[in-house]
């Protein structure tokens, strides 16, 4: 008995159908690759914007700490008798500025001999804070500055990236504690 010969007709789909499907898959794969490249570009752009915003927040926070540090220095210049009470808080504020990326350390201010404790003093510089001649008022203004800055930093937590938010939260809590110590200690 002779064996039947298999037909030459393909058992699977025609070659044209296979080629069309391969072309569609390649096109879909290319589109997916392009879309993922676009999303990678979009996410890296978003990441760069986030990093720039974090840098700006750190810079602003360091500047605010330096402004508060100037107030401490001016208060210490005007009222040297408060040094024992204010210097530890002032040094903490200097460390806060450093934590935000400012390199100015906790150097102690010099107390000029020409400033009498009863007078209104201004620290050197065009935008130096004006300090009341009365010690209690000077400390109250310092406490108010600490409280306002702690509130500002607490509000900034909402939009801060996690790394900066941790530092902001810590420094805001320290500022609130400083305000309390300045208010309750007088």
The 10s digit of each residue's pLDDT in 20-55 is 565 544 554 444 444 444 455 557 877 788 888 889
Question: For residue 54, with 0-12 CB atoms within 10 Å meaning exposed, 13-18 middle and 19 or more buried, which class applies?
Answer: middle
Query: Is residue 14 assigned to a domain?
Result: no
On whether the CB atoms of residues 139 and 75 are closer than 8 A, the answer is yes
Please state the domain count of the chain. Answer: 1
Which residue blocks in 79-120 are alpha helix, DSSP H? Answer: 83-99
Query: Is residue 33 assigned to a domain?
Result: no
Query: Is residue 43 assigned to a domain?
Result: no
Query: Is residue 79 assigned to a domain?
Result: yes
Query: Is residue 184 assigned to a domain?
Result: yes
Query: Is residue 183 assigned to a domain?
Result: yes
Query: Is residue 164 assigned to a domain?
Result: yes
What residue has token string 């007709």?
9
Query: Is residue 123 assigned to a domain?
Result: no
Contacts of 66 (CB under 8 A, 6+ apart): 97, 102, 104
What residue has token string 């404790």?
117
On whether the CB atoms of residues 137 and 120 are closer than 8 A, the answer is no
Mean pLDDT (the chain) is: 77
Confidence at residue 143, expressed as pLDDT on a 0 to 100 scale:
96
Look up the domain containing 85 and give its range: 54-106+128-186
């Amino acid at each position: 008995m002779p064996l039947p010969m298999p037909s030459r007709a393909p058992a699977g789909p025609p070659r044209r159908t296979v080629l069309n499907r391969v072309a569609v898959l390649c096109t879909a794969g290319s589109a997916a690759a392009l879309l993922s490249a676009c999303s990678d570009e979009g996410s890296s752009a978003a990441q760069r914007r986030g990093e720039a915003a974090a840098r700006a927040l750190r810079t602003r926070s360091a500047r605010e700490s330096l402004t508060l540090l100037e107030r401490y220095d001016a208060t210490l210049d005007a009222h040297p008798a408060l040094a024992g009470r204010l210097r530890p808080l002032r040094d903490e504020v200097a460390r806060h500025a450093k934590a935000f990326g400012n390199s100015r350390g906790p150097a102690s201010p010099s107390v000029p001999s020409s400033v009498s404790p009863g007078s209104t003093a201004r620290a050197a510089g065009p935008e130096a804070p004006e300090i009341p001649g009365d010690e209690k008022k000077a400390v109250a203004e310092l406490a108010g500055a600490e409280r306002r800055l702690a509130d500002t930093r607490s509000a900034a937590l909402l939009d801060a990236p996690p790394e900066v938010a941790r530092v902001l939260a810590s420094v805001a809590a320290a500022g609130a504690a400083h305000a309390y110590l300045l208010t309750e200690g007088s």
